[in-house]
Amino acid sequence: MRIREIFGFPNPVNEVAARVVAAGVLLMSLLTLATRRPWLLVPLAYGFVARALTGPTLSPLGQFATRVVVPRLPVAPKPVAGPPKRFAQALGAVVSLTAALLALVFRRTTAAYTLVALMAVFATLESAFAFCVGCKIFAVLMRLGLVPEDVCAECANIWDRPNLRDSPHAPQRPVTG
């Protein structure tokens, strides 16, 4: 496997898998809050860093979602643009790493658990309502010109990607008009 394959991020992303991963993050966040075990922030932070760098490739939760849970769901894949999802994972990495440092290094558990509660809220929005806060922030940054348009040029029309056009499992192009 080449480095590009390992550190590549899928585009498009199956939103069903993203929502399953978000449900896993929600469960891990709630477990951390309920047990007050700051060491649980380590696997939570690792997961976000791994998903930001490689998508599901190096993430145990990402692998479980994409290989075990999603194939068993009676739901068709829903492709969405990859760059906003990667940005959302990177935001999760920053927040979870900050929480881990606050709790484990600086012993500021109240601040750390406040960040974990915020992650739980965002994960709930993504998993239950398909509302990705990181994706919305990404869109605002694009509108402000802080994210170049070429970063997400493919976001505008993922339906013309060869792997979607040629796949027998590809969802149907949405009808407009």
Q: For residue 173, is it within any domain?
A: no
Does residue 41 sit within a domain?
yes
Residue with tokens 């585009």: 11
Domain ranges, residue 26: 3-165
The span from the first CA to the last CA of the chain, in angstroms, equals 43
Least confident of 39-43, 80-84, 128-132: 80-84
Give the whole-angstrom CA distance, residue 87 versus residue 132.
10
Domain contains 82? yes
Residue 174 is assigned to a structural domain of this protein:
no
Q: Which residue did the predictor score with more confidence, 169 or 10?
A: 10
Say whether pLDDT at 138 is over 70.
yes
Length of the chain: 177
Cα(32)–Cα(118) distance, rounded to whole angstroms? 12
The band of 152, judged by pLDDT with boundaries at 50, 70 and 90, is: confident
| 3-state SS class at 79 | strand
pLDDT of res. 171: 42
What values do phi and psi take at 13, rounded to 5?
A: -105, 145
Q: What is the pLDDT of residue 10?
A: 83
Q: Which tokens belong to 22? A: 């978000």
| Residue range 29-56: mean pLDDT, rounded | 96
Instruction: Tell me the average pLDDT across 21-43.
Output: 97
Query: 133 vs 122, 125, 170, CA distance in Å?
Result: 7, 8, 26
Mean pLDDT along residues 37-51: 97
Task: State how many domains the chain has.
Answer: 1
Instruction: Give residues with Cβ within 8 angstroms of 54, minimum separation 6.
Output: 6, 7, 8, 9
pLDDT mean across residues, the chain: 86
44-53, 57-66, 111-120, 145-154: least confident range: 145-154
- Model confidence at 157: pLDDT above 70: no
Percent of the chain with pLDDT over 90: 72
- pLDDT score, position 154: 59
Q: Is residue 114 part of a domain?
A: yes
Q: Residue 2 pLDDT more than 70?
A: no
Mean pLDDT over 107-119 rounds to 97
Inside any domain, residue 33: yes
